Structure 1
Amino acid sequence: MLNELNQRLATTKANYRRKGKLDSQLRAAQHALDDAKRQQANLKNILAKEQADVDALEGLSLTALFHAVLGSKEQKLQKERQELVAAKLKHDQVIDTVETLNESVHRLQDALSRIKNADTEYEAALAEKADYLAANGSDVGNKLFEVTQQIADLTADQKELDEANGAGHSALRAIEEIRTTLASAASWGTLDLFGGGMLTTMAKHSKIDSAKNQARTAQRKLLQFEEELADADQRLQISLQIDGFSKFADYFFDGLISDWIVQSKIEKARTECSKTISQVTTAIRQCDSRLKQVESEIETLTQRKRELIETA
């Protein structure tokens, strides 16, 4: 039984490795093909331009007449024909390259299709042998159990970090939107200070209202981020409240004084935004760093588990 399991494991591992190699080759071929297609499109345009230059000199165009009068038509025509031939050769070459790369891509795709289940077959063979070793009271079986438990714990950490990462980026985008809106409000506010009129004032307060609405959304996202990072003991707070009374006073009391009050609040809110963006960015970096560490540990333990099974 053990010999049969080892044979199956050897076969599936060979296919697993071949699949990885073919995947890498296919990505490289597809990248090269994309580059060649872009080059082909560029050279096609150059070829068309060179052909147009030659046609202009060979025909009865103003360009041809101009060079004929100057006595330089033949010399100019010879130069344009040389450039046309060079462009044609380059264009033909890249067409051949595209065709060759297309063939490579199709060949690799066909080869991959024949072993598309190599990953799952290899993992199934590993699992079957691991079950056999555990059922037969092997020392390796006990070691496998320990490694499997460690991988399970780290996988749970990985999931939590992924979720925290997503929540962090979502919060960051929300705060950056507020900062953009406040920057627009500040611009309208500056204009308003110099007598921009009712429309300018309305535009400024429209942006302020938008920022307040965005702040509520950002607050929810920050709280979610805090919850996801609770284990990391990260605590983030943001408050972008802008006093509604200042908006009221802006219309009905001394406009200049009220405007300066609102303008200072806008600038204060922008500063708070920048500070919070810095805090969130730092937390995301810490999260990314820990996530990479966890992923590396999982990969190391997974490889250790495979080696234990394969060599037992």
Structure 2
Amino acid sequence: MWERLQQRQSVLKQEINKRDKVKRKQQTLEEHLEIALHKKQEYWTRLKEEQKDVENLDGFSILKMVRTWTGKQDEIREKELAELAAVEAKYREIEKTVIDLELDIEANERELDQASWDSIDIEWDKLIKEKEQWIFDNNQEQASRLDKLYEKKTFLATGIREITEAITAGNEAKIALNRSLKSLEGAKDYSTWDTFLGGGLIATSLKHSKLDESEDAIHAAQRSLQKFHTELLDIQQIKADNLSVERDSFVTFADYVFDDIFSAWSTHSKINNSIDRMYQTLQDLANIFDLLQKQLKLDQDNLHKVEIEITQIIEH
């Protein structure tokens, strides 16, 4: 009887943990959407300001003439255009992010509507009352020990599931990062031709085409990193003792990359800077993977020990 109650409790608790995870995810998504909407408005304002700055450069002024004579006008215009390009890229990125978050929130709301979760809290309360009654009627010493072991088993099983899901999300982010890296490497190749080998109009056009292609790849990487970040928050939520990771920079990955790419479209070294940031992010992923794998192994070993203890109590 007690074994049946404990098994039922373990199943229910894991299901409650799944439900609570979806609730936490909903809260996180809504917080991220609020931040994204604020950033979208901020970038829109900055975009209009940068556009105005570029337009002002086209107007006639004595200062413009002086700058032209001293060779400064082209340099200033290039700087203004680069700043405009960076803000525009960030605005397009945050637009896509807002759409993604709204879709994720809708999907998460549908998951929360599972019929099996409607009565799960009632089932839990009923089970706890049954256990209390059994302990009162039987007063067995091993009941308390078994209770703690099953609680530990549920905690470890939940941790293993969360870490496994984080590793899966991290692998997806790694794949997306490598794709964006490959795309940006292509833009760098054309930039080498254009900047150092005098590639001309065709090379410049191909380079910018590759940068446009890279923009989509970078967004896909940003989306994957956002999901990985959410999974890491879930692991921290269950307080894994030997795991401590905080990578909020994953959330702002695209901002940093776009800053470097568009700080000067024609400057070869700036694309290199963005590539370096991608390699650093891949290294960050690798470091966190190492922590995750160690924690996963520890949890799996501890779960095995707990299961052996439970078996010994039940069979003796």
Normalising by structure 1, report the TM-score. Answer: 0.49
RCO higher in 1 or 2 (8 Å CA, sep ≥ 6)? 2
Normalising by structure 2, report the TM-score. Answer: 0.49
